[in-house]
Amino acid sequence: MSKKPIPAAALNDDIGEETRLELYRSQVNIREAEQRAFDLFLQNLVKGTSHLSLGQEAVAAGFAVAMKKGDLSFCTYRGHAHTLARGVPVEQVLGELMQRDNGLMRGKGGSMHLTSEEHGVMGSYAIIGAHLPIACGAAWRAQYKGHSDVTTCFFGDGTTNIGAFHEALNFAAVWKLPVIFVCENNLYMEYTPIRDVTAVEHPAADRASAYGLERIVIDGNDADVVYRTAMTAYEKARAGKGPSLIECMTYRHSGHSRADPAKYRPEGELERWKERDPIKIYRERLKQFGIGDDAVAKIDADIKRIVDEATEACKAAPNPPMDILTTDVYADGGWAWRN
C-alpha cells in the first residue's frame, strides 16, 4: 500500500485531544508490550507459542477506546493486543506469556487464552471461528435481559473461511443481536496469502451481503478511522439495529507465530506497510492537531517504564504452584469426577 495523504475525514476534529491521546497511548502500550514479548521469547523467557499484533495496534486501540465499561470483547489467540487495550495490566499479560504465577491465569491458559472478565475480556480463543457463535450468545443475553452492553468479536482473515463464521453471522443477523464482528485482514491466513484461498477479494466484507449486512472495509492502520467506524457500529447496536461486520485492512510486522520468520512475503511488502505503521501515522496525526511533542514523549516514557517494570516483576515472579494443577476443572473448584 502506498503512502497516501491523510483523508479529509481523518482531519475532522470530532475526536478531541483527550481521546486521541488515549488512542495513542493504547497503541504504544500494545507496541511496547508486544515488542517486549518478542525480546523475551528470544531470551527463551516466553514459553509455548505466541502470536503478536505488531503493526495491527490501531484496530485493537480504536475499538477498545470506543467501547464503554461493561462492553464485552472476544478475540482469537492473537489476543494480547485486545487484552491490553481493555486495560489489563502489562505485567499480568507478560506473566501469562512467561507462564509465571503472576500471569493473568497463573499459567493455566497461556498466550492463546488471555481472559480477564473484570475488564470485559471474555476470552481469547485458539480454535479458529469458535468465538463468533459464543459472542452471539453474550449479545443474546444483553438483548434478552435488556442490558445496554455491546459485544465485539475480533478475528483474522483466515476465520472467514470456516463454517462457524457463517453460522454466527447468519444467527446474529436473524436475531438482530448487538454484536460487532471485526475482521483484521492482515493479508495472510497463516503462511498462505488469504487471496489464494478465498473466492472474493475482501474475505469478510464481500460476504456481508449474504447476511443482509452492509459492506464495510476500512483502513485498519488509522486509529481515527477505526474509532469512528466503531462508534457508529456501537451506536447502531445499542439502538437495537443489529450486528455489523467490519473488515479492517492491516498488516502484521512479524510472522504468524513465534516460529515463523515470514519469508513467504514478497520483497518490499513489509517495508511498504511499515511506512503506514499505525503508530507513525498517529504521531503525525497528533502533530497535525497541535498536540505537543511533550505529551507524546511523556506517554512514550510512561509506557516504557511500565513495560520495564512489568518485565522485571515477571522475571522475579515464581512459577505456578503445583496445587493449582487440579483446581477449577468443575465449578466446585476441584476436579472430582467420581465418589
In the complex, which residues of this chain contact another protein (CB under 8 A)? 72, 104-106, 108-110, 113, 115-117, 122-123, 125, 127, 129-142, 144-145, 151, 163-164, 167-168, 170-171, 174-175, 324, 327-333, 335-339
Q: Which is nearer to another protein, 175 or 289 (CB)?
A: 175
Question: 60-77 b/e with 16+ CB inside 10 Å = b?
Answer: bbbbbbbbeeebbbbbbb
Q: Which is nearer to another protein, 264 or 330 (CB)?
A: 330
312/324 Cα distance (integer angstroms): 24
Residue 173 CB, nearest approach to another protein (Å): 10
Question: 3-30 b/e with 16+ CB inside 10 Å = b?
Answer: eeeeeeebeeeebeeeebbbbbbbbbbb
Residue 132 CB, nearest approach to another protein (Å): 7
Q: Which is nearer to another protein, 292 or 333 (CB)?
A: 333
- Count the neighbouring beta carbons within 10 Å of the beta carbon of residue 79: 27
Residue 87 CB, nearest approach to another protein (Å): 16
21/273 Cα distance (integer angstroms): 23
Residue 119 CB, nearest approach to another protein (Å): 11
Q: Which is nearer to another protein, 48 or 193 (CB)?
A: 48
Type of residue at 199: A
Residue 260 CB, nearest approach to another protein (Å): 23
Q: Which is nearer to another protein, 26 or 116 (CB)?
A: 116
User: If residue 217 lies in a helix (H) or strand (E), which one and from where to where?
Assistant: strand 217-219
CB 132 within 8 A of CB 159: yes
